[in-house]
Every structure is written in C-alpha cells, then in structure tokens.
Amino acid sequence: MTSDEIPARAGKSAQDRGDGGPDWMMVGVLGLALVVRVAAVLAFPSLHHPDENFQLFEQAHRLAFGYGIVPWEFIFGIRSPVLPVILASVFRLSAPLVGGPEGYLLVARLLLALSSLVAVAAVYRMGRRTSATHALIAGLVAATWFEIVYFADRPLTDAVATTVLLVGLSVASVPDAQLTWRRLAAIGFCLGLALMLRLQLGPGLFVVALWIGRLQLRARWWPMALGGLIPLVVFGIADRLVWGGFFHSYVAAVQANLFEGVASSFGTAPAGAYARWLIVQWRYAFPVLWALIIVRGRASAMWIVAAIVIIVVHSAIPHKEYRFVFPAFACLVIVAAMGAADLLEMARHRLAPMMHRALVSATALLWVAASAALAFTGTFHDWWYTARPEIMASFALAKAPDLCGVLFYDDWWFATGGYAYLHRDVPFYSFDHRTTPRNLIASSASFNAVVAARSSVPDFAKDFHVQKCFSAPGSEDLCVMRRAGTCTPELAMNAFLAPNMTWPSAVESKAANWTKDPPGRVWRVQYLAGTQIWTRRGDSNVFDVTHCTGWACGGRTLSILRSGDRIMVVRGARPADAVIYLGMLAGTRVSGWHPAGPWHADIEQ
C-alpha cells in the first residue's frame, strides 16, 4: 500500500465498498456542505485579510470594469494573473444578471464555495474505500469543520490551494495496485496546481510526490509529471503574457520575500507560533484530535508528513499568518476524522448493530457540535465579522446616485473593500486621521461621503450628516455621512487618483498648479518596507535612486512636481506605466501615500 488505506475486511458489503448505485449518503453530505457554506456566505460578509480583496477581487474588478486600486504586488508583477482573470470573467458575466457590487460578489463567493465541494466529495470517496463509517465521518468533517467552511468562499490562494491539496491527497490514498496512469496524472495535476496557487507549499507537495512516486520514474513519475505540467504551462504562459516573462511573478515573489525581506516588514512571529495558534483555535478539542491523529498515524502517514513539512517550512519563515498553514491544518483534521472512524469500526463487532449505529450517529453529531462551538469562540469568533462594517458601508454608498467622492476616514485603504465593494467610478480617498496631518483632510470639497467611526462623527459635524451606522462585534460602529452638493477633485487629497485620471492628465489638472521646482537635492525616503535615497540631477526635477534597500528597488529614476506644500512623485518613463503618489511638505519632511501604503521623506540637502 502507498498511503491511507486500511485493509478491507472480508465480507464487506458492496455498499461499504461503494460499488452500488447512487450513493445517497454522499449526496446528503454534499448537500449539507452546500447549505453550511451558503449560510456562511450570506450571514457573515467579511474580509479575512486585505489580500482576499486587493490581490484577487479588486484586480478582477479592475479587469472587468476598467478601474480599481493597483497594489504594489501588481505594480511590480509578483502575483499570478490567472485567478484575477477567472474572477473578472465571473464579475463581467454575472453583473448584468444580478447587479453589483453585492450581486457579482455573491456569485463569486458562491462559486468558490461550490468549488470546495470537490474536496468534500474526494474525502468522502477516500473514506468510502475503507468503510461507510469512514465515508460518513471524514465526509462530514470536510463538509462542516469550521476552518474549512470559513475559508471555503475566500478568494485566497491559500484557500483554493487547500481544496486542490485535499483532492490530490484523497485521490492518492489508494493501494499500489490502483495507482493507474490516469490516477497518477490526476495526482500530478493537483500537486502542480497547488504549487502554482501557493508556491510555499512546494516542499510539502514534493514530499507527497516522493511518497507516491518513490523510485519508479517511468511508471509513476512520468504520468505525474505530465499531469503537473498542465497547470505549470497555463500559469507560466499567463505570466509571460501579462508580466513579460515565464513565471515572472514567482521569481519576483521569491526575490522580494526571501531575499529582500518584504514579507517580514509586515510583521514577524517566533518559530513556534503556528503550534501555539493551532492549540488556541482547536482549544479543548486539541488533545482529542491529536490522539485521533496518532490512532490514524500509520494509515495516513502521507497526510501527516505532508502537513508537518508544510508547518515546519512556514515556521522557518519569519512572517506568519494563520491562513498560510491552513492547508496543513485541514489535512490534520481529516486524518483525525479517519482516526475516529477507525475506532468506530473497531467497536463494530463488540456492539449490537443498533448500538453501533447509535454510536456512529453520536460521534457525527459530536464532530458537528465541536466545530460549531469552536467557530464562535476566541479569536475565530471575531474573524467572521472582520471588515463587515466597511463592507456594508461600501454597499450602501454604491446605491447613492449622487456619489462623487468617498473618504474612508478611520481606515487604511487596505482595510476597506476598495472599488470591488464600492463599484462606483469616483475618487476613493483613504487617510488615517491619526497619522495624517489634519489640514490634508480638512477639505470637504473633494468628496461628498465620509465613512468614519462613530467617535469621529463630530469632526465632520459642520457639513455632513449621518445617514446610517453599521456595527460588528468587537469593533466600534462605522457610520456613513453625506453632504449635499457636488465634488471638486483635489489631487493632493487622493492616495489613489480618480479612475479616469492618469499622467499627464494629473499634471495638467486645474486642481493644482504643478511646477518643476521640488525642494532640496537629497531625499532620504522611508517606505512601509524599505528605504531609498533620491539624488537630484542638477537643477532639474528628475531624481536618481542612488541607494535602495528592501522591495521596490526597480525603477531608478523619478520626477517630482510641487504645488505649494503639495508634492507629486511620478515613477515611470511612459505615461501608461507611471505610478503616481502624493504627499504634503511640512518643513523638511514630506508625508503621504503611494499605492503600497504610507511613505515619508526627509530632505537632507
């Protein structure tokens, strides 16, 4: 045997082997999985992480409708365009039918949730090859376990890769004799797709391939390689078409995160953080689940080793997030479910049939109850509501016919839903009043709507009135305020230029009288994840980047324009490729925003 197969007992029925007609138990498990996922989508609109929106939904919106915020990852080409293109097609096709933004976002999330059912079916079928009990318990856990349900509809590469990984491992969990050419090609396809979705899973995926392929190069590695080649070709060509080089996004991501420390700039955690987080999330169920994993240790060794490798590799990376190792945790909980089924099957011959059925039913209910309890305790409880007020505020403003500009007053731009959730071609302003000079925010002529915390409402009491406030557990109410009248765009107010404003139209705008006389000769610049020194060329407004650390070291020249105390920085030689960001001059310090977040510069000479 190659992996996760307990020998079938003599005399097992055809139904237990899955050889009969329609498997109504499987239909029931998939139906339950669908109901739970749809309920989660409808009841808990939220954003687990900014990447969920700005790496996928926002880019899909930009591709589908022509406008959207471009984060630094898509400026420097370190993200694959494949999933954004697919989601853009979903947006474009569904918007005329169901409207937007609520409509097309709901369709996209439901489709993601539906795609996760493939993993539920695969896990169920894997269990069915051992017994009906294994099929029921493992399938039920895949259908209802709180972490799997929570991530099922998330547009995160970690979540989609988890679905693919569970399918691949389930397909691979057969005796050696059943590792046909076709099955091996399917396994290779799953491993290759998971790799393209989440490159950091590579070591764990290689362990799976090695476990299956062993030294049988022709018999096993060859069909797996052919299957895996399909997603590699698709993603490689996509990078070539969009970024100009095969696998450009993967090479750039490795360079930025591994060699330039970009990921670490967003926070680090000790090596044991993932183990601690797992204990915190699984809480009282942790010792029971690990006992069940040990019970299943030999039969599901491939699953366990793959999960451990994924956790160990990610533990060595300073920047840590729970979602990064969710694929490993999902594998472990499926193993625990199979372990529970092992114990139930051991008890089959010691109990009367009715008592055994009652024990199986009780165990199934206990799994569901434990999952429901863990889903709404501790930090996981708050995750269901993350960014919910911002989402609801954006949905409300999307329906305002006279909207001409929006200011998110108490949120960094990446904490909002961006244009994907606003779906209005209007200027999008996002300044945190706690770190931005008040006089930069004071003007209200450039926007006629404000989204702010309830405690910040008095800051706009003179011109704006509260329309509606939205709440979520554990966070302050977020209010939508409006004023009458139109908007006069002001470039220096905007972290993101109005969608229809590009360079050189930004310079030619009457909103500011830009001149080519920037102050100083040497600027020491601090970004969110790196530093640069800009040195002026003679008396021109062109600056050379003479020193650079961290990410975004590409692009060695830039132009700086000035309008009073307003500063505009333009990167890129061609207007179509220009990246524009703005700031305010106060003494010898310039502070402002660019597409990746805040920046400031000290003028030294």
pLDDT tens profile 50-99: 999 999 999 999 999 988 888 878 877 889 999 999 999 999 999 999 99
Q: Is the pLDDT of residue 260 over 90?
A: no
Per-residue confidence band for 596, with pLDDT thresholds at 50, 70 and 90: low
Task: Tell me the HSE value of 442 on the side-chain side, using a 13 A CA sphere.
Answer: 4
Task: Check whether residue 457 and residue 555 sit in a common domain.
Answer: no
User: Mean pLDDT throughout 518-524?
Assistant: 92
Residues 520, 567: Cα–Cα separation, whole Å: 12
Joined tokens for residue 380:
């996981």
Task: Check whether residue 589 and residue 544 sit in a common domain.
Answer: yes
Residues 178, 1: Cα–Cα separation, whole Å: 10
Task: Check whether residue 363 and residue 402 sit in a common domain.
Answer: no
Q: Is the pLDDT of residue 396 over 60?
A: yes
Residues 320, 60: Cα–Cα separation, whole Å: 26
Q: Is the pLDDT of residue 11 over 90?
A: no
What 3-state class would DSSP assign to 559? strand
User: Mean pLDDT throughout 93-116?
Assistant: 96
Out of 289-293, 387-391, 437-441, 526-530, pick the least confident: 437-441
Which percentage of the chain shows pLDDT scores above 90?
Answer: 64
User: Mean pLDDT throughout 539-562?
Assistant: 78
User: Mean pLDDT throughout 453-462?
Assistant: 87
Within 10 A of 424 (CB to CB), how many other CB atoms are there?
A: 22
Q: Is the pLDDT of residue 19 over 80?
A: no
Q: Is the pLDDT of residue 101 over 60?
A: yes
Higher pLDDT, 73 or 323: 323
Task: Check whether residue 168 and residue 298 sit in a common domain.
Answer: yes
User: Mean pLDDT throughout 294-318?
Assistant: 96
C-alpha closest to that of 562 among 519, 523, 600, 601: 519
Q: Is residue 1 domain-resident?
A: no
Task: Check whether residue 574 and residue 595 sit in a common domain.
Answer: yes
Using CA atoms of 557, 578, 234, 106 in order, give the dihedral in degrees to the nearest 10. 140
pLDDT value at residue 555: 56
Tens of pLDDT, residue by residue over 129-154, are: 999 999 999 999 999 999 999 999 99
Task: Check whether residue 340 and residue 465 sit in a common domain.
Answer: no
Residues 349, 239: Cα–Cα separation, whole Å: 57
Out of 76-80, 293-297, 365-369, pick the least confident: 76-80
Domain end (from 491, 525, 550)? 491
User: Mean pLDDT throughout 255-284?
Assistant: 84
Per-residue confidence band for 572, with pLDDT thresholds at 50, 70 and 90: low
Out of 11-20, 513-522, 541-550, 584-593, pick the least confident: 11-20
Joined tokens for residue 576:
């179509």
User: Mean pLDDT throughout 593-604?
Assistant: 75
pLDDT value at residue 326: 96
Out of 101-105, 160-164, 312-316, 489-493, pick the least confident: 489-493
Q: Is the pLDDT of residue 328 over 50?
A: yes
Q: Is residue 576 domain-resident?
A: yes
Q: Is residue 466 domain-resident?
A: yes
Note whether 121 and 140 are within 8 A (CB). no
Domain end (from 320, 350, 383)? 383
pLDDT value at residue 461: 78
Note whether 469 and 480 are within 8 A (CB). yes
pLDDT value at residue 529: 59
Q: Is residue 5 domain-resident?
A: no
Q: CATH number of the domain that 421 lies in? A: 3.40.190
Residues 69, 59: Cα–Cα separation, whole Å: 8
| Secondary structure letter of residue 69 according to DSSP | -
Task: Check whether residue 103 and residue 181 sit in a common domain.
Answer: yes
How long, in residues, is the chain? 605
pLDDT value at residue 526: 82
pLDDT value at residue 127: 97
Instruction: Give the β-pairing of 557-563 and 597-603.
Output: unpaired
Q: Is residue 8 domain-resident?
A: no
Three-state SS for 456-487 is HHHHHCCCCEEEEEEEECCEEEEEEEECCCCC
Task: Check whether residue 293 and residue 399 sit in a common domain.
Answer: no
C-alpha closest to that of 102 among 491, 500, 394, 350: 394
Tens of pLDDT, residue by residue over 203-244, are: 999 999 999 999 999 999 999 999 999 999 999 999 999 999
How many separate domains does the chain show?
3
Q: Is residue 543 domain-resident?
A: yes
What 3-state class would DSSP assign to 580? strand
Measured in whole angstroms, the distance separating CA 441 from the mean position of its chain's CA atoms is 31
Task: Check whether residue 347 and residue 411 sit in a common domain.
Answer: no
Domain end (from 459, 491, 523)? 491
Task: Check whether residue 291 and residue 347 sit in a common domain.
Answer: yes
Per-residue confidence band for 267, with pLDDT thresholds at 50, 70 and 90: confident
370: which strand partners? none
Measured in whole angstroms, the distance separating CA 317 from the mean position of its chain's CA atoms is 18
Task: Check whether residue 250 and residue 342 sit in a common domain.
Answer: yes
Q: Is residue 4 domain-resident?
A: no
Which percentage of the chain shows pLDDT scores above 70?
Answer: 86
Give whole-number Cα distances, 537 to 323, 559, 602, in Å: 46, 10, 18
User: Mean pLDDT throughout 380-398?
Assistant: 95
Q: Is residue 116 domain-resident?
A: yes
pLDDT value at residue 122: 98
pLDDT value at residue 441: 59
> How much is the mean pLDDT over the chain?
87
Enclosing domain of residue 405: 388-491
Out of 77-91, 356-370, 495-509, 550-564, pick the least confident: 495-509
Task: Check whether residue 31 and residue 105 sit in a common domain.
Answer: yes
